[in-house]
A and B are shown apart, each in its own frame.
Chain A
């Protein structure tokens, strides 16, 4: 299938990208790796008037450890994250997730920032960001991850706003991301991420609602000394997962509990 026509410009810097977006008007869109956007263009489910290509904004392709945080540039590709020694040392869960995004071809093109801006309910990184209280840095502000995602495919980003960086706390401790899917390269039907911090466990869930979920009830039970089994039983509390051709809502709730427990067991 063929995308509808659009105008196209390349940005070499954040400033240029924002200026181009502003000039192109409200129906313009950013294209980074394009691995989610291009299928939507081809199916004509998305018909922007203008694409601003930010692949040339090299200043956004980096992994910087700084104090107790890991700053990751928005243009860092999945394959880079998966291989990065810095990521593996300071936030190995991010590398583990990156290695499980799509397939090698998609990982070679897709970017961290693209996942945040696209805000697919099945996106993996948002789960990590929400559960670890990461901060999303745009060209104009800093937004806590829990405030960044508003709904399915919807974020707080303004039409001319660019995701520049995500700031994650460093977390080298025990961790696991389990992604339940029918085929190895599919999106998660449900994903469960766990990360041990000095303050206790953090637990996040993928694709159990319109946005990533931090399983606070599970964390609280663990803090109170519950077993993994007992704590994971709380994973589906307050979830409102979708029912679709892949899985029913009930089954997703069930998977949330099972995967949470297994992730905790495997991480520990």
Chain B
């Protein structure tokens, strides 16, 4: 039943035999052991499973693993070099952009895609960029603040944005 999947995950080239119906999120979590990507719904509303696929934010629970064949995937674990923090991660920490933290990896990955395209998003653009992600704890106030802070830090040259 298995079919061959070749992907690069956080810089590591992999080849795995997977069942066609295996969702990308389960491949990442269970085959690759990258449990930072979360599942929050069945119908692609919550965005907790967001990862970067060739630089674009996608919902990994709304893709088959085999559809990622040949792609480069970045998960929350691979966003910053080992032991370091991406400006978005720093900004979420400094601005209390998370409470329970379950939605946070998805938000950070969606925001990373947003900031790669738009270095100085307005509040409205941040809202549009993160419309596919739900948070139940923060009321989004500090998420918006964190994204603004990260954008500023990145403009000031802390770290080059992923894919940008």
Chain A interfacial positions (CB closer than 8 Å to B): 1-8, 10, 31, 34-35, 38-39, 41-43, 51, 53, 55, 79, 102-106, 108-109, 183-185
A102 to B, closest residue via Cβ: B132
Count of A-B residue pairs with CB < 8 Å: 93
A88, B30: Cα distance in complex, Å: 42
Whether A106 contacts B132 by the Cβ 8 Å rule is yes
CB neighbours of A7 from chain B (8 A):
20
| B44 contact from A6, A8, A31, A106, Cβ within 8 A | A106
Whether A106 contacts B66 by the Cβ 8 Å rule is no
Chain A nearest CB from B65 CB (Å) reads 10
Whether A38 contacts B64 by the Cβ 8 Å rule is yes
B56 to A, closest residue via Cβ: A108
CB neighbours of B128 from chain A (8 A):
104, 184
CB neighbours of B113 from chain A (8 A):
104
Given A34-B63, A104-B114 in contact, is the A42-B47 Cβ separation under 8 Å?
A: no
Chain A nearest CB from B77 CB (Å) reads 19
Whether A55 contacts B43 by the Cβ 8 Å rule is no
Chain A nearest CB from B115 CB (Å) reads 12
A6, B47: Cα distance in complex, Å: 25
Number of B residues contacting the other chain (C-beta, 8 Å)? Answer: 33
B50 to A, closest residue via Cβ: A105
Chain A nearest CB from B23 CB (Å) reads 8
Whether A105 contacts B110 by the Cβ 8 Å rule is yes
| A6 contact from B20, B50, B62, B133, Cβ within 8 A | B20
Whether A105 contacts B58 by the Cβ 8 Å rule is yes
Chain A nearest CB from B156 CB (Å) reads 25
Whether A35 contacts B44 by the Cβ 8 Å rule is yes
Whether A34 contacts B64 by the Cβ 8 Å rule is yes
A184, B1: Cα distance in complex, Å: 40
A185, B133: Cα distance in complex, Å: 10
Check: B12 CB closer than 8 A to any chain A CB.
no
Whether B21 contacts A39 by the Cβ 8 Å rule is no
A3, B20: Cα distance in complex, Å: 10
Chain B nearest CB from A68 CB (Å) reads 32
Starting from the known contacts A34-B62, A34-B63, A105-B58, 13 additional A-B residue pairs (CB-CB under 8 Å) come to A3-B21, A5-B1, A31-B64, A34-B64, A35-B62, A38-B23, A39-B44, A41-B21, A79-B56, A104-B131, A105-B44, A106-B59, A109-B62
